[in-house]
Each structure stands twice: as structure tokens, then as C-alpha cells.
Amino acid sequence: MDFDDTPEEASWRSTVRSIIADNREALGRRGAGRGYDDPAARDRQALLYDNGLVGVTWSKEAGGQGGTPMQQAIVDQELSRAEVPGLVNLIGIGMCGPTVIAHGSESQKERYLKRLLRADDLWCQLFSEPGSGSDLAALRTKAVRTDDGTWRISGQKVWTTLAHVSDYGILLTRTDPDVAKHRGLTMFVVDMKAPGVSVRSLRQMSGGSDFNEVFFDDVEISDDERLGDVGNGWGVALTTLMAERMSLGGGGTDIGVGVGAVADHVAARIADLPDDRAAVTRQQFGRAYAESLAIRYTGYRQLSAISRGEMPGPEASAGKLAGTRVARDLADLSVRLLDDDAVFARDSGGDSTWQDSQASLPGLAIAGGTNEVLRNVIGERVLGLPAEPRADKNVPFRETIAVATGGSESAAKGATV
């Protein structure tokens, strides 16, 4: 056991450091607001890409560096240490890209991947629908093949992060309602500017608007834009979900709020507290801090396993379960330390970081598979506990709708069982 860089890791780390140092001013500093609607943020990502620091693990053909997960982790550590702002399109890079790499045609890879990494294009993930979130395979957005081979899409997606600024999306559709729900799905790349696509912003509890409803009204998609085989959309989606697990699982400590920033915040205020409150505050902070260390070192265990060539399994989701809880504890403690300003979020005269982070954290326990669903996955796949009973297993999708809606397919609301 050791935490030292191998000689290769050390040399890569010094390369990364000197790239960052050479471009220090142009790379900007963290805390500059939401990146994706700021053209400068996209320029900064292009700069990182042109210097070989984005898509490190992607193959050269895919526009990446053909590097190792450990090299990517070193890049992440060094960018974070240097307080370089994060990438603007984690969904694109973490989920859409790997899906195109695994299932796309040569021409799709050629057209899309490098532009995605450079943030020339932003991407979104069009999976969830009003009637199918956790029960993703119950989705209804319909894709019908026309005589000339193109596809016509109609239906609605929801909670689509970044849809309002995206150039492309990966879109999961139903192409055959007469087979069991997992079998009748097909995945496409959709041009978000195509005729018939409309995007309506949703406002989140935080007041911000990062996710959207997306409507497809007879949108035409060429068969070249299909990802994987007709009817194999579920298999393709599993690639996306596995990539999602990896990109949400490991990082842990910095989910939502940085634990170091909380330490500064507590240290700055604790001296003004009466002794009894100071003691309670220290205890709460110490507990969350210790847990955040546990998450960080669990991430190191996973990284070590990955660099031995092991695939991260469902246990990678444990980091998200622990991380979302710790992030909420830290944000809650931080808000409490604001005193009266804790209840006047909007006119606290300047820094509303803590109130904002508090109002964004409940979303983390829902996005990327709810924490309940992740517990099911760990319970069944890691602990080997018996699976949930499924009323819709092996039943043609059309019939599951009939049961759920008393026979009328148009009565909406999916067959969530």
C-alpha cells in the first residue's frame, strides 16, 4: 500500500502542473458562476483540451489521449488544487461521449467526439420522461421508421439538464411496444436545433434553471444517427448509466460543497460562538469531515482497483449515497453559522453560497438514479439480496400500459409498478 506516484505518474503530474502554470491566467479561477452559458468558460475548456487535459482516458481515435484512469485522476487533482473552474459539460463528457464511443459508427465518432471534448458542442441526456424516471424502461417517446428509412420522433422528455443550451442529445425512444419494455427501445443522437424540437425551462427549488422539458413533435432523425441496433436501446442505455455511476461515484467529498471551504467558514466563525454552541458545532463538523475523508479514501480504493484493470461495479454507487448525505450535513451546518442571515438568503448582502448550495443538494439524491434505487442496486447486486418483485416482467409493453391505465393508452402516466 502506498500513496506515492509511480515514476510515470510523477512525470505526468509534473507535465500537468507545468501546463497549468503556463496557462494560469487564461484558465481562470473557480467561483465564476455557471460555466455553460458563459462563452469564456467554453474557451477555457478548449484551451484545456488543446493541451491534452480533457478526455484523458478516451482513445486517440475518439479524440482523447489514450491515457489511464489514474492519469485522469491526476489531472482532476491538479486542476482542483490550482482552483481551475470545472468543465462545462460533465454530462456530455461523462455519459454521452462514452455511449457514442461504445455504440457509435465511425462517422459519428469522427463528427462528434472531439467537438464535444473541446466544448464546441454541448450535449444532454434525454432519458427521463414524466411517466418514467426510476422505471426508465417504461418510457413512451415514440420513434417510427418511415418508408425512406428515416425516423419520426414524438413525445416528451423532462428534467433534461442543459437541454436549453445543448447542440446534441442522446435520446432513448420506444420503437416496438409489442415486446417487453426493455426490448423495444432504440437510442439516437438528436440535433437539438432540428425542426420540431422545443425546449421549455423548468425552475428548480433553488430558483435557478438548469434543467428543462423537451418536446418532440414529429422530429425527423436519419438512420445514420441511430446509436446501436434497433431494439437494443436498453443495452446502449446501460452503457450510459454505467458511465454515470463512475462519474458520480468516486469524487465524493466535493459533491455540492467543498469540505475545505466549510472548514474555513467554521474556523472563521467558531470563536464568536458561546462555548456550548462551539462544542456542538465542532462535533457536527468533525463528524462530517471524518466521513468526507472516508469517502475520499474509498475513492482511492476504487481508483486503485480500476488501475489494476478491474471494472467499477455497483459498489461505486456507495460513494454517492454517503456523499450526498455528508454534503447536506456540511451545507446545513454552514448555513446555521450565518446566524440571522441564515433565514434571509436573498438579502444576506453578498455571499449566498451556503444558502444556494443547500437548495441544490436535494437534487443530488434524485439525479443519476435516486438514492433509493441505488440502494436497491447495491442490495441486490453486491449483497445478493432477493430482487424486487416485478409485475411487468416479460409482458409486452402495450399490455402493461393497458393495466396501469385501465385500458386506455392515452391516459398517460407510465406503467410504474
Partner 1 sequence: MNFDLDDQQRDLASAAGDFLASSTSLADVRAALDAAATDIAVRPGRDQLLSSGFATITLPEEVDGGGGTVLDLAVVAEQAGRVLAGPSLITYARAAVLLAGDTDRLRALAAGEMKVAVVDGDGPVLDALGAEQFLALRDGRIVIGGGTVDLPDPIDPTRGLGRVTLGDVEVVDGSGDGADAQARWDRALQIGRVILAAESLGAAARSVEIGVAYAKERQAFGRAIGSYQAVKHALVDAYVAVEELRSLVWWSAWAADNAPDELPMASASAKGVAAMASQLAAETLIQVHGGIGFTWEHDAHLYWRRAKVDRFLLGDDVAAFDEVARLAMAGAAS
Q: Binds 217, which of partner 1, ligand FAD, none (CB < 5 to 8 A, cut-off by type)? A: none
Compute CA distances 115 → 46, 143, 162, 337, 345, whole Å. 9, 27, 17, 44, 39
What is the distance of C-alpha 139 from the center of its chain? Answer: 20
- Burial class of residue 92 (count of CB atoms within 10 Å of its CB; 0-12, 13-18, 19+): buried
The residues pairing with 227 across neighbouring beta strands, listed in sequence order, are 187
- Our finding on whether 383 is near partner 1 (CB under 8 A) is yes
- Our finding on whether 354 is near partner 1 (CB under 8 A) is no
Q: How far is the CB of 163 from ligand FAD (least distance, A)?
A: 8
Which of 41, 167, 50, 158 lies closest to 112 in space, CA to CA? 167
**Per-position DSSP letters for 314-370, written without gaps between them:** GGGGHHHHHHHHHHHHHHHHHHHTTGGGGG-GGGSSS--HHHHHHHHHHHHTTTTS-
What's the angle, vertex CA 182, arms to CA 177 and CA 188, rounded to 5?
Answer: 80
Give, as ranges, the residues between 295 and 314 that touch partner 1 (CB under 8 A).
Answer: 295, 297-298, 300-301, 303-305, 307
Q: Binds 305, which of partner 1, ligand FAD, none (CB < 5 to 8 A, cut-off by type)? A: partner 1
**Closer CB to ligand FAD, 241 or 278, in the complex:** 241
Residue 316 one-letter amino acid = A
Half-sphere exposure of 178 toward its Cβ, with a 13 Å CA cutoff?
0
The pair phi, psi for residue 310, each rounded to 5°, is -80, 145
Q: How far is the CB of 221 from partner 1 (least distance, A)?
A: 38
Interface residues toward ligand FAD, by CB under 6 A: 91, 124-128, 133-134, 159-161, 211, 363, 366-367, 369-370, 372-373, 376, 388
Can you tell me which of 231, 258, 379, 396 binds partner 1, judged by CB under 8 A?
379
**Closer CB to partner 1, 195 or 286, in the complex:** 286
The residue range among 5-13, 88-96, 125-133, 151-159 that interacts with partner 1, by the rule CB under 8 A, is 5-13
Q: How far is the CB of 21 from partner 1 (least distance, A)?
A: 23
**Closer CB to partner 1, 102 or 303, in the complex:** 303
The residue range among 30-38, 121-129, 239-247, 292-300 that interacts with partner 1, by the rule CB under 8 A, is 292-300
Question: Measured on CA atoms in the order 20, 24, 26, 30, is the torsion positive or negative?
Answer: positive
| DSSP character at residue 163 | G
Binding site for partner 1 (CB under 8 A): 1-6, 9, 70, 260, 263-264, 266-267, 270, 279, 281-287, 289-291, 293-295, 297-298, 300-301, 303-305, 307, 315, 318, 321-322, 372, 375-376, 378-380, 382-389
